[in-house]
Amino acid sequence: MSRAPDIHALRELLRSCVECGLCLPTCATWAATGNEVLSPRGRLVLMHELLAGDPGPDAGALESFDRCLGCRACETACPSGVPFSLFEYGKDLAARARREGTLTVTRSPAPGWLLRRLDRPVVLRGLKALAPLAALAPRPLARMARSLPAAPERDRDLLALLDGLTGSRTGDVQPAAKAGSAAIGIDFFAGCANAGLLPASSRRLIDLLQRSGCTVRIPAGQACCGALAAHTGRPGDRARRHGQNRRAFGQGETARWIVVEAAGCGVELKEQYDFGPGEVLDATEALARLTLPPLRPVPLRVAYHAACHLEHGQKVTDPPRALLRAIADLELVEPEEAALCCGSGGVWSLEHPDLAAEIGRRKARALLETGAQLIVTTNPGCLGQIKGALAELGADLPILPLTDLVWYAGLGPDL
Ligand code: SF4
Ligand code: SF4
């Protein structure tokens, strides 16, 4: 929430909760603890206290909002339309209290100064370079290193991985099943986590967009979307990032797409920016609108992990699944409790390492139970969190950006 909250409007919104509890089973913090105070319904009760404002926010209420992942699964589940924006007010207060040191929190494996710099690709690249040493570090640091998002950097390594899973690259390519949009100009939003940790996957996505007829440019001077500054209670830094990106992407005169890979960045760009005639699209939305290069069959059982910021934050549900269904011989499966967050939540997993690890293991077990040979997702945070949880369980199940798999299918049998 970048503007001052309208307390009267928030009180009105609070009235829409009928306390039915239908949101509880979709809340990861409630599922992991069974504690009503850590459920959406419990948080709405606490919101009454926060909005009373006198004698000031109660420490228990702040802690409950601090522990809210911001996944918005409760918003999707709620039949009364109670919006997540109610919780943003509580989360903003908690983030400020955390930064000012008035909220006692679990010790994070990453110091505050580092958390605040994770929106810089150069810092993320440094962490990635140090990750192999983390095996020797204390457990929380080692867990953090295991949870850094990763995908094969060299195309040949990605091909070897997927060829190994499928057996070989054979089969007749399928001509594009539909006539998609005409070729369009795309401004690519690089995103700090993708730029720092998954640059090869970004390059492959751009290749796929170009081979689908688009002209892609990466505007210079772009910055983090601002979500990290919001999560860490720094509204001034968030506003500065917004200003930087507005200058980099401009308002433009012509219709174009601003394509973003990370679901978390996508929410921030869609809700907090106005790019004039430019339309912000998640990468899967863009690809699903285009006529892709002919795809060849990929005989794999693939589990799709729906990132909360795409599924609940942006309400983008069909495009990623449609892309996977467009690949012949691919069996798409989804885990039990699919609506539950994986426990990433941007830097939330670093601020709440023990709860995040527990939620992550629950998600990893559900994904393993699908019998999938590969997991795909659309958010770097989810990718890293699930990768780390699988490693903790000793499971050797690969996880990749969904667009890496589509890129592989679009290569054709002879490449
Ligand atoms: S589902 Fe909606 S109405 Fe029911 S308890 Fe949750 S927030 Fe309230
Ligand atoms: S946003 Fe997520 S973690 Fe927070 S109350 Fe809703 S379901 Fe629970």
The reported pLDDT for the residue numbered 253 is: 59
Residue whose structure tokens are 């924006």? 85
Nearest CA to ligand 2 atom 8: 27
Ligand lying closest to the C-alpha of residue 25: 2
Report yes or no on 368 lying in a domain.
Answer: yes
Q: What 3-state DSSP class applies to 301? A: strand
In whole angstroms, give the CA distance from residue 329 to residue 131. 36
In whole angstroms, give the CA distance from residue 343 to residue 348. 8
The residues lining ligand 1, judged by C-beta closer than 6 Å to any ligand atom, are 17-23, 40-41, 44, 74, 77-78, 80, 82
Residue 94: name the closest of 134, 36, 161, 46 by CA.
Answer: 46
Residue of 36, 47, 72 with the most ligand 2 atoms within 8 Å of its CB, for mutation: 72
Q: Alpha carbon of 393 to those of 71, 140, 224, 358, 389: distances in Å?
A: 24, 15, 33, 11, 6
Closest atom of ligand 1 relative to the 81 alpha carbon:
2
Nearest CA to ligand 1 atom 8: 17
What Rg, from alpha-carbon coordinates, does the chain have?
21
Report yes or no on 11 lying in a domain.
Answer: yes
The reported pLDDT for the residue numbered 1 is: 46
Report yes or no on 205 lying in a domain.
Answer: no
The two tokens of residue 312 are 């609940």
The reported pLDDT for the residue numbered 56 is: 65
In whole angstroms, give the CA distance from residue 94 to residue 325. 41
Nearest CA to ligand 1 atom 6: 23
Ligand 1 center–CA 392 separation, angstroms:
34
The two tokens of residue 141 are 């640091």
Residue whose structure tokens are 């996957």? 201
Report yes or no on 241 lying in a domain.
Answer: no
In whole angstroms, give the CA distance from residue 45 to residue 65. 12
Ligand 2 center–CA 70 separation, angstroms:
6
Q: What 3-state DSSP class applies to 357? A: helix
Ligand 2 center–CA 61 separation, angstroms:
14
Nearest CA to ligand 2 atom 5: 40
In whole angstroms, give the CA distance from residue 205 to residue 262. 12
Specify the length of the chain in residues. Answer: 415
In whole angstroms, give the CA distance from residue 360 to residue 414. 38
The residues lining ligand 2, judged by C-beta closer than 6 Å to any ligand atom, are 26-29, 40, 43, 68-74, 84, 87, 341
Report yes or no on 49 lying in a domain.
Answer: yes
Beta carbons within 8 Å of 393's beta carbon, 6+ residues apart: 361, 364, 365, 368
The reported pLDDT for the residue numbered 177 is: 46
Q: For residues 2 and 239, is the Cβ–Cβ distance under 8 A?
A: yes
Report yes or no on 162 lying in a domain.
Answer: no
Looking up residue 357, the CATH number of its domain turns out to be 3.40.50.1860
Average pLDDT across each block of 10 residues of the chain; the chain has 415 residues. List them in order.
Answer: 68 88 96 95 87 72 90 95 85 80 69 72 76 68 77 93 83 51 82 90 95 92 88 85 90 78 94 88 96 93 97 96 96 97 88 92 98 97 95 95 96 58
Q: Which of the listed residues 100, 122, 151 is the one where a domain comes to its end?
A: 100
In whole angstroms, give the CA distance from residue 242 to residue 250. 11
Name the residue range of residue 375's domain.
Answer: 301-409
Report yes or no on 63 lying in a domain.
Answer: yes
In whole angstroms, give the CA distance from residue 318 to residue 288. 9
**pTM listed for this prediction:** 0.90
Ligand 2 center–CA 76 separation, angstroms:
10
Nearest CA to ligand 2 atom 2: 71
Is residue 85 classed exposed, middle or buried when 0-12, 13-18 and 19+ CB atoms within 10 A define those classes? middle
Ligand 1 center–CA 410 separation, angstroms:
43
Report yes or no on 140 lying in a domain.
Answer: no
The reported pLDDT for the residue numbered 161 is: 95
Ligand lying closest to the C-alpha of residue 84: 2
Q: Which of the listed residues 55, 79, 100 is the one where a domain comes to its end?
A: 100
Q: How many CA atoms lie within 13 A of 111 on its CB side?
A: 2
Residue of 74, 84, 309, 355 with the most ligand 2 atoms within 8 Å of its CB, for mutation: 74
Closest atom of ligand 1 relative to the 16 alpha carbon:
3
Q: For residues 299 and 409, is the Cβ–Cβ distance under 8 A?
A: no
Nearest CA to ligand 2 atom 4: 68
Phi/psi at 219 (nearest 5 deg)?
Answer: -55, 135
Number of domains in the chain: 2
Q: Which of the listed residues 39, 69, 100 is the one where a domain comes to its end?
A: 100
The reported pLDDT for the residue numbered 2 is: 47
Amino acid at 114: L
Q: For residues 91 and 50, is the Cβ–Cβ distance under 8 A?
A: no
Closest atom of ligand 1 relative to the 21 alpha carbon:
5
